[in-house]
């Protein structure tokens, strides 16, 4: 553990906020009601849609949303109370089956579990009472200042996250006794200043792929390829991610494990779960070279990823308990 001194601390840890608030203040009353959602991914040639479609699921009030994403289709989601560990959330076999059933009924398809090339489960940190369905709960954000002065933000949505950030900074200024206000609303996102989406898409090939992922920051990834052309090679067969993106993830995006790279800095695990496992060793070696890992550290990071993919598969395909 490290001891870090700070004038202000912000707790923005999603469904873990209550756990952290309770560490700071034993009298903290829990406020988060975790609501689980899942998505699965199938090849586009099995569900040939070109836009987002919502479809009814037989016997359920909830509808499923089907969205084309490149040469895949993403099917989701669910919205259910969740009582398990927030550290181990996956799409279950039952959840996968109702999404497949919805898509098969709507599109007269024949999707089977073998068509599911990736899946993901997540928890929404909803704030509110325990009564009623999570689906009907408001997605409002909540910002509080605890007795120790820690600013906690929870609830909200990805689409409102910048506004939440703005309000949090203003709250921190209050804690610090300063009058300055957040400048977020006037700042472009990293890679967003001067970004021309149409020109980037029209450029095609690697330039378009990197531009769409990194905005104007893509030139730094491009520089890596210029210095070492082997970094232009794909890292996961069938997906557009390059080896340069692994190096960039280590240097500029704080990636510290194979899982960081394949699950979060890229979406390789979601779009090609099994192929991503096949790429784990190569990713481990690239990361290891960047971060000065020992051979044992590389092997541990690769083994952790492979074991986590096996665990995900067993819950999804064999119906094992999480």
Ligand X SMILES: Cc1cc2nc3c(=O)[nH]c(=O)nc-3n(C[C@H](O)[C@H](O)[C@H](O)COP(=O)(O)OP(=O)(O)OC[C@H]3O[C@@H](n4cnc5c(N)ncnc54)[C@H](O)[C@@H]3O)c2cc1C
Contacts with ligand X by CB under 6 A lie at 12-16, 20, 37, 77, 122-125, 156-159
Least distance in angstroms from the C-beta of 278 to ligand X: 26
Backbone phi, then psi, for 32, in 5-degree steps?
-95, 135
Residue 45 Cβ vs ligand X, minimum distance, rounded to whole Å: 25
Q: H or E segment at 220?
A: helix 218-227
Residue 93's CB is within 10 A of a number of other CB atoms, namely 14
* Residue 158 or 321 having the CB closest to ligand X: 158
Shortest Cβ distance from residue 156 to ligand X (Å)? 5
Are the C-beta atoms of 41 and 33 separated by less than 8 Å? no
Task: Compare residues 77 and 257 and give the one whose CB is closer to ligand X.
Answer: 77
> Which residue lies nearer to ligand X by CB, 1 or 230?
1
Q: What is each CA distance from 210 to 14, 66, 151, 191, 205, in whole angstroms?
A: 29, 26, 36, 11, 9
Backbone angles phi, psi at 92, to 5 degrees: -90, 170
Q: How far is the CB of 226 from ligand X (least distance, A)?
A: 33
Which is nearer to ligand X, 77 or 276 (by Cβ)?
77
Question: For ligand X, which is the closer residue by CB, 164 or 275?
Answer: 164
Least CB distance to ligand X at residue 183 (A): 21
Q: How far apart are the C-alpha atoms of 229 and 225, rounded to whole Å?
A: 5
10-11 and 151-155 strand pairing? parallel
Which residues lie below 8 Å from residue 312, measured CB to CB, with a gap of 6+?
A: 90, 119, 273
Q: What element of type H or E holds 88?
A: none
Q: How far is the CB of 162 from ligand X (least distance, A)?
A: 11
Q: 39 or 243: whose CB is closer to ligand X?
A: 39
């Amino acid at each position: 553990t490290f001891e870090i001194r700070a004038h202000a601390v912000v707790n923005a840890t999603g469904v873990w906020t209550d756990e952290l608030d309770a560490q700071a203040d034993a009298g903290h009353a829990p406020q988060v009601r975790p609501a689980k959602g899942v998505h699965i991914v199938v090849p586009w040639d099995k569900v040939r849609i070109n836009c987002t479609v919502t479809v009814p699921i037989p016997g359920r009030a909830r509808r499923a949303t089907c969205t084309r994403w490149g040469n895949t289709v993403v099917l989701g989601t669910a919205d259910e109370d969740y009582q398990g560990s927030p550290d181990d959330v996956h799409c279950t076999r039952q959840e996968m089956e109702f999404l497949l059933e919805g898509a098969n009924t709507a599109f007269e398809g024949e999707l089977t579990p073998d068509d599911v090339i990736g899946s993901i489960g997540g928890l929404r940190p909803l704030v509110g009472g325990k009564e009623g369905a999570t689906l009907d709960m408001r997605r409002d954000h909540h910002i509080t200042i605890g007795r120790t002065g820690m600013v906690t933000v929870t609830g909200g949505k990805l689409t409102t996250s910048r506004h939440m950030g703005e309000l949090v900074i203003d709250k921190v200024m209050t804690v610090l006794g300063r009058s300055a206000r957040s400048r977020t609303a006037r700042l472009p996102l990293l890679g967003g200043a001067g970004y021309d989406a149409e020109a980037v898409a029209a450029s095609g090939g690697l330039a378009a792929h990197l531009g769409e992922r990194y905005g104007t920051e893509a030139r730094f990834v491009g520089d890596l390829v210029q210095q070492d052309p082997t970094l232009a090679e794909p890292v996961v067969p069938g997906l557009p991610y390059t080896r340069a993106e692994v190096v960039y993830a280590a240097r500029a995006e704080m990636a510290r494990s194979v899982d960081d790279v394949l699950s979060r800095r890229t979406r390789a695990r979601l779009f090609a779960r099994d192929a991503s496992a096949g790429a784990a060793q190569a990713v481990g070696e690239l990361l290891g070279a960047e971060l000065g890992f020992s051979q044992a550290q590389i092997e541990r990071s690769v083994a952790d990823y492979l074991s986590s993919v096996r665990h995900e598969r067993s819950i999804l395909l064999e119906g094992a308990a999480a």
